[in-house]
């Protein structure tokens, strides 16, 4: 058996999420958090003590530390590009919190630097490591292509006081970049493409400059549409999320911003219904994500009504043969499972970094995925600013260095 050398990580930024990451990856045998740097020394010391790690004066000191193989970048988004570029240039692997950067030009620079460096960059897009989304993605041959995706996200602002960096577009990138990248990336996974055009609108909290409502619609090559609605206006207890996918003859309703449950309603043919009946036996494979440990609650359940309707039907001008109706439930334990599923997804992302650093393989959420989600999110931000459709290709070319003004549809 080959043993993977331990990946020794220096953590940059010892805030709330760094503590969550530290807890989530604590029992990975091939990863060790050995040093912590933060501009706030008290925070650095507190996290270092919890980890049994040492503190580093400045994050730059980690770049030349012979006992640091990788950096975990958990500062606010505005500094992700600077720290990640420096780490790659110093020959370190990087686990970068999302978003990869707040600006598409920097995203391109980071992504190119990652390729040039031969080091591994993982962006902590936790949804790429979520078993429900992986299962739905694996079931695409049964379900068909996504025709429309709608994500409704009633999120909490209870921990986000008015002065928090989250509300400052210059430091966070704004809602589409800071938070939206998760879901633009999930759409990339589930729809199999990056959109070509984006239209967005935002609204402010009454009587304030705080932008707390944001909606974007994206159009994908081939004609599929996706809508993303984020509302940072809720108490924690009133948070609600639903991702709905329309495949035509099938629909998926995925609940939780960290998905923990999905219901699929599928009209299908003889071969399809036979496949549905076999899904519970394939649950372990369908839900499998390297590094993500499922607990005993995880299951796929199905119920089938053969000949629930006449065989012949039509949709989008096409003749269909879909007499059977099936309900597929993908369940990780519902809402109570969220903290565990969230932590396991972070664990799986870090395990991906360690595995790819030793094998040279490409991670599930690497620089390409991180870059694409920033380009789409930046197009949404630009669309909301300018009040018109933004073509993703224009952002992409501008980000690659060609100065070209965004054009309207
Ligand atoms: N993947 C996810 O699901 C997820 C969830 C929450 C947050 N995040 C991301 O994690 C990152 C951190 O968020 P947070 O909520 O922990 O923020 P936070 O404000 O709680 O912590 C950030 C820390 O970085 C430190 N810092 C700031 N600039 C620094 C610098 N130049 N050098 C060293 N330290 C610096 C701050 O002092 C602070 O301790 C953000 O990018 C956020 O988007 C990701």
What SS3 class is residue 323? coil
How close is the Cα of 167 to the center of ligand 1, in Å? 14
How close is the Cα of 97 to the center of ligand 1, in Å? 8
CA distance 267 to 12: 49
Number of Cβ within a 10 Å radius of residue 234: 16
CA nearest ligand 1 atom 11, residue: 74
Residue 148: half-sphere exposure toward Cβ, Cα within 13 Å? 8
User: How buried is 228 (Cβ within 10 angstroms: 0-12 exposed, 13-18 middle, 19+ buried)?
Assistant: buried
pLDDT at position 5, please? 78
Pocket test for ligand 1, best of 15, 73, 343 (most atoms within 8 A of CB): 15
- Nearest atom within ligand 1 for CA of residue 17: 16
Pocket test for ligand 1, best of 37, 40, 76 (most atoms within 8 A of CB): 76
Give the alpha-carbon dihedral of 203, 183, 261, 320, to 10 degrees.
Answer: 100
pLDDT at position 281, please? 97
How close is the Cα of 48 to the center of ligand 1, in Å? 16
CA nearest ligand 1 atom 9, residue: 97
How close is the Cα of 184 to the center of ligand 1, in Å? 21
Pocket test for ligand 1, best of 42, 50, 87, 97 (most atoms within 8 A of CB): 97
CA nearest ligand 1 atom 39, residue: 15
- Nearest atom within ligand 1 for CA of residue 178: 43
Q: Which residues line ligand 1 (CB under 6 A)?
A: 12-18, 37-40, 43, 59, 74-77, 79, 97-98, 124, 126, 178
CA distances from 392 to 112, 114, 201, 224, 405 (A): 19, 22, 16, 15, 12
The phi, psi pair for 360, rounded to 5°, reads 85, 5
Task: Tell me the mean pLDDT per 10 residues along the chain, length 409.
Answer: 79 98 97 98 97 95 97 98 98 98 96 96 98 98 97 97 97 98 98 97 97 98 97 96 97 96 98 98 97 95 98 96 98 94 98 96 97 97 97 85 50
CA distances from 271 to 154, 267, 278, 301, 321 (A): 39, 12, 11, 18, 11
- Nearest atom within ligand 1 for CA of residue 37: 33
- Please name the residues in contact with 257: beta carbons below 8 A apart, sequence gap of 6 or more: 153, 155, 182, 239, 241
CA nearest ligand 1 atom 5, residue: 17
- Nearest atom within ligand 1 for CA of residue 43: 39
How close is the Cα of 15 to the center of ligand 1, in Å? 5
Give the DSSP letter of residue 70: E
- Please name the residues in contact with 402: beta carbons below 8 A apart, sequence gap of 6 or more: none
Query: What pTM was computed for the model?
Result: 0.96
What SS3 class is residue 324? strand
CB 74 within 8 A of CB 94: no
Angle of helix 104-117 versus helix 392-399 axis, rounded to 10: 60
How close is the Cα of 92 to the center of ligand 1, in Å? 20
Pocket test for ligand 1, best of 41, 74, 374 (most atoms within 8 A of CB): 74
CA nearest ligand 1 atom 36, residue: 13
How close is the Cα of 193 to the center of ligand 1, in Å? 29
What Rg do the C-alpha atoms of the chain give, in angstroms? Answer: 22
CA distance 136 to 230: 23
């Amino acid at each position: 058996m080959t043993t993977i050398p331990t990946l020794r990580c220096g953590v940059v930024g010892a805030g709330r999420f760094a503590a969550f990451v530290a807890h989530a990856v604590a029992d990975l045998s091939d990863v060790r958090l050995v040093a912590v740097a933060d501009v706030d020394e008290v925070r650095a010391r507190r996290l270092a003590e919890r980890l049994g790690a040492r503190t580093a004066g400045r994050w730059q000191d980690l770049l030349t530390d012979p006992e640091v193989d990788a950096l975990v970048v958990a500062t606010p988004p505005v500094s992700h590009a600077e720290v990640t570029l420096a780490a790659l240039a110093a020959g370190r692997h990087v686990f970068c919190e999302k978003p990869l950067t707040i600006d598409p030009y920097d995203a391109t620079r980071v992504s190119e630097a990652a390729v040039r460096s031969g080091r591994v960059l993982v962006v902590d897009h936790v949804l790429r490591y979520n078993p429900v989304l992986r299962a739905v993605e694996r079931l695409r041959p049964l379900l068909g292509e996504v025709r429309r995706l709608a994500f409704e996200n009633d999120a909490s602002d209870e921990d986000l006081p008015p002065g928090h960096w989250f509300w400052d577009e210059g430091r966070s990138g704004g809602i589409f970049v800071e938070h939206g990248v998760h879901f633009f990336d999930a759409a990339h996974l589930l729809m199999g493409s990056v959109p070509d055009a984006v239209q967005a609108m935002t609204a402010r909290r009454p009587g304030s400059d705080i932008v707390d409502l944001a909606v974007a619609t994206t159009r994908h090559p081939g004609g599929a549409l996706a809508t993303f609605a984020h509302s940072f206006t809720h108490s924690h207890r009133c948070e609600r999320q639903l991702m709905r996918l329309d495949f035509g003859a099938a629909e998926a309703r995925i609940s939780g911003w960290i998905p923990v449950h999905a219901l699929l309603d599928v009209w299908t043919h003889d071969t399809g219904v036979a496949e549905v009946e076999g899904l519970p036996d394939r649950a372990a494979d369908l839900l499998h994500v390297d590094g993500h440990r499922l607990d005993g609650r995880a299951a796929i359940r199905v119920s089938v009504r053969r000949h629930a309707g006449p065989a012949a039907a039509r949709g989008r001008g096409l003749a269909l043969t879909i007499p059977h109706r099936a309900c597929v439930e993908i369940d990780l334990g519902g809402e109570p499972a969220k903290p565990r599923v969230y932590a396991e997804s972070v664990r799986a992302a870090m395990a991906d970094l360690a595995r790819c650093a030793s094998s040279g393989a490409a991670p599930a959420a690497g620089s390409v995925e991180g870059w694409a989600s920033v380009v789409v999110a930046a197009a949404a931000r630009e669309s909301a600013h300018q009040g018109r459709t933004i073509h993703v290709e224009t952002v992409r070319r501008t980000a690659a260095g060609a100065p070209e003004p965004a054009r309207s549809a």
